[in-house]
Amino acid sequence: MTDPRPLNVVLCWHMHQPYYREGLKGAYHLPWVYLHGIKDYSDMAAHLERHPGMRAVVNFAPVLLEQLDDYARQMDTLLKRGAPTQDHMLNLLAGIERIPSDVAGRLRIVQDCQRCHAPRMIHPYPAFHRLLRMIGATDEAGIGNVGLEEHLRYLSEQYFLDLLTWYHLAWLGHALKQTPPAQRLMAQEKDYSAADRHELLHLMQHCMAGLIPRYRALAERGQIELSMTPYCHPIVPLLNDFANMRDALPDAPAPQAPDYPGGAARSRWHLQHGAEVFQRYFGMKPAGVWLSEGGVSEDALALLDEMGFAWTASGEGVWRNSCAKSGCGDDDTQTKRGLFAPAKIDGYRTRVFFRDDGLSDLIGFKYSDWHADDAVGDFVQHLENIAGFFGKEAGDHVVPVILDGENAWEYYPDNGHYFLDALYAALTARMLIKPGTFAEQAARAPARPMKRLAAGSWVYGSFSTWIGSEDKNRGWDYLVAAKQAFDAAVASGRLSAEQAGLAARQLAVCEGSDWFWWFGDYNPADSVSDFEQLYRVQLRELYRLIGVAPPALLDVPLSQGGGRAENAGTMRRNVG
């Protein structure tokens, strides 16, 4: 009697940040690329390096790769020549920008240095917490307390330099925190000199410059599969046809515009340009594509077929809707048996995987409050239960677990270090579980025929996070108007080839999904303001590049926010 073959498990970590620069060459509006670089992208590589038997998929948005590279270069120039970067926070930390003397400028520094999950990233560091507590600016008291402005007026510049230093120390990943420079600076606690801060900047720059080569090395030795998202992270099915929202949202209001003009061509552009950027950094063409937000449709699948991609993936809600559209049996959907196999949609070659929402959400939302050993034990038990359900056929099935590679760890102790360390150790040691990649499973795992693919995303199986409500639809109508102006400028022949190319790249920035993610009253007001302001800046820049006066409505905020979304709105939970 032969032992059953182990159940195939694919962990896919999606690495993504939107385009944060104001226009193609302007200042970085928000610091999240380099902050997640020194924390999450660094730690996620370190965990894989520490567990060479672990296999996984790491997905990068090409626009993130470009920004990681740009930050590494700008930080190198800052350290070698003293030239300012395009990031306000880095310039303050380096001393290239002076600490402002006005209260508004100082208040902004205090607010910016609280942009993190305080219970995991401020409170564990007494010296950091003390700096905020002494002026009544902890997260419990809140910015704007009576007397806070007077405190800010009379504080020394050293106070703000220490605050900036601690903020960046807190954002270091677990692995970087163990290095001698970080250990020394944390032990020092205060009075950080220019030399101290430059030592921290050297550590950060070295990390940023090494990120892409580290992931490339992991892929070249066969430990991970690298995949990509379309260039600027657009929702491809919505670019192709607004009617794709109707599979899951038959009665939701739509934008006033009937469609996005020339959308299918723009989708193809994002895929082609994304593959070029990916190949430039990693030296290979990706086998698979995580379409932005797992947003799939049959017309999107046709594009992937056309370009020869082996696989794509989406969420469990899309699988259920596709089963209903295809007339699958109730037993198949109730047991989730059909979820754990790549689907072959009639008429298409590209295989489609569907993530297990429950297992993915356990990592994203629940395990952060558990002891790491208990969390890993629970997760592995779920997988072994699935293996037991399939019995001798377990080796013919694959369990996809797909989630952000950066946003969950802020809520875990020590940036998820102990959880991920124990998880990788357990997955590589269990006889009934075999971690692998989507490219392998697309080639090997028996595919399940499916007549139709429902259009939708990994969030609720619909596109409701990006379209179908007042603010989101308004955002689309602004984009449609800008695209019509772009098309007219190109058709007129008055743009040079260089001007048209720059405008096309700026249009791609405007087509990114993240603007629409944040529009809506259920999101935190500060985040909505950050993104809707930057969206209007990007649209105005597009109009400038094509030589057209921007419409006056771009001077008016299009969404306010005000809600208290879970995990600050950076992730969505599908399963309670």
| pLDDT bracket for residue 565 (50, 70, 90) | low
pLDDT at 558 > cutoff 80: yes
Q: What pLDDT is attached to residue 235?
A: 98
Percent of the chain with pLDDT over 70: 95
DSSP class of residue 312 equals E
Pairing status of strand 433-435 against strand 311-314: unpaired
Percent of the chain with pLDDT over 90: 89
Q: What pLDDT is attached to residue 142?
A: 47
pLDDT at 60 > cutoff 90: yes
- The β-bridge partners of 288 are 311
pLDDT at 140 > cutoff 80: no
Name the more confident of 211 and 135: 211
| pLDDT bracket for residue 333 (50, 70, 90) | confident
Q: What pLDDT is attached to residue 527?
A: 84
Q: What pLDDT is attached to residue 311?
A: 98
Tell me the per-residue pLDDT of 421-445, one tens digit each, with 9 for 90 and over: 999 999 999 999 999 999 999 999 9
pLDDT at 28 > cutoff 80: yes
Rounded to whole angstroms, the Cα distance separating 381 from 160 reads 48
**Residue 533 CA to its chain's centroid (Å):** 19
Rounded to whole angstroms, the Cα distance separating 129 from 145 reads 17
pLDDT at 240 > cutoff 80: yes
Rounded to whole angstroms, the Cα distance separating 356 from 378 reads 15
Tokens representing residue 270 in the block: 């994002």
Q: What is the DSSP string of 3-44?
A: PPPPEEEEEEEEE-----BSTTTS-BS--HHHHHIIIIIHHH
Q: How far are the Cα atoms of 133, 163, 176, 205, 475 from residue 188, in angstroms, in the given order?
A: 19, 13, 17, 21, 48
**Residue written as tokens 């990509």?**
228
How open is the CA angle 272-276-282, to the nearest 5 degrees? 135
| Lowest mean pLDDT, pick from 31-35, 89-93, 520-524, 527-531 | 520-524
- The β-bridge partners of 575 are none
Q: What pLDDT is attached to residue 24?
A: 94
| Lowest mean pLDDT, pick from 38-52, 129-143, 494-508 | 129-143
pLDDT at 528 > cutoff 90: no
Q: What pLDDT is attached to residue 570?
A: 56
pLDDT at 268 > cutoff 80: yes
pLDDT at 3 > cutoff 70: no
CB crowding 221-256: b at 16 or more within 10 Å, else e = eebbbbbbbbbbbbbbbbbbbbebbbbbbeebebbe
pLDDT at 567 > cutoff 70: no
| Lowest mean pLDDT, pick from 154-163, 230-239, 446-455, 557-566 | 557-566
Q: What pLDDT is attached to residue 574?
A: 60
Backbone angles phi, psi at 465, to 5 degrees: -75, -15
| Lowest mean pLDDT, pick from 315-324, 341-350, 522-531 | 522-531
| Nearest in space to 168 (alpha carbons), one of 92, 69, 62 | 92
| pLDDT bracket for residue 524 (50, 70, 90) | confident
Alpha helices in 449-496 (DSSP H): 470-492
Tell me the per-residue pLDDT of 461-514, one tens digit each, with 9 for 90 and over: 999 999 999 999 999 999 999 999 999 999 999 999 999 999 999 999 999 999
| pLDDT bracket for residue 396 (50, 70, 90) | very high
Tokens representing residue 248 in the block: 């899951």
pLDDT at 571 > cutoff 70: no
3-state secondary structure of 178: coil
Span 209-232, average pLDDT: 98
| Lowest mean pLDDT, pick from 103-107, 472-476, 516-520 | 516-520
**Residue written as tokens 């929702």?**
235
Span 354-374, average pLDDT: 97
Q: What is the mean pLDDT of the chain?
A: 94
Rounded to whole angstroms, the Cα distance separating 524 from 562 reads 5
Q: What pLDDT is attached to residue 2?
A: 55
| Nearest in space to 401 (alpha carbons), one of 300, 294, 535, 307 | 294
| Nearest in space to 509 (alpha carbons), one of 229, 231, 227, 241 | 231
Q: What pLDDT is attached to residue 1?
A: 43
In this prediction the pTM is 0.95
| Nearest in space to 345 (alpha carbons), one of 314, 391, 373, 368 | 314
H or E element that contains 227: strand 224-228
Q: What pLDDT is attached to residue 563?
A: 56
3-state secondary structure of 343: strand
Span 91-95, average pLDDT: 98
Q: What pLDDT is attached to residue 358?
A: 96
| pLDDT bracket for residue 552 (50, 70, 90) | very high
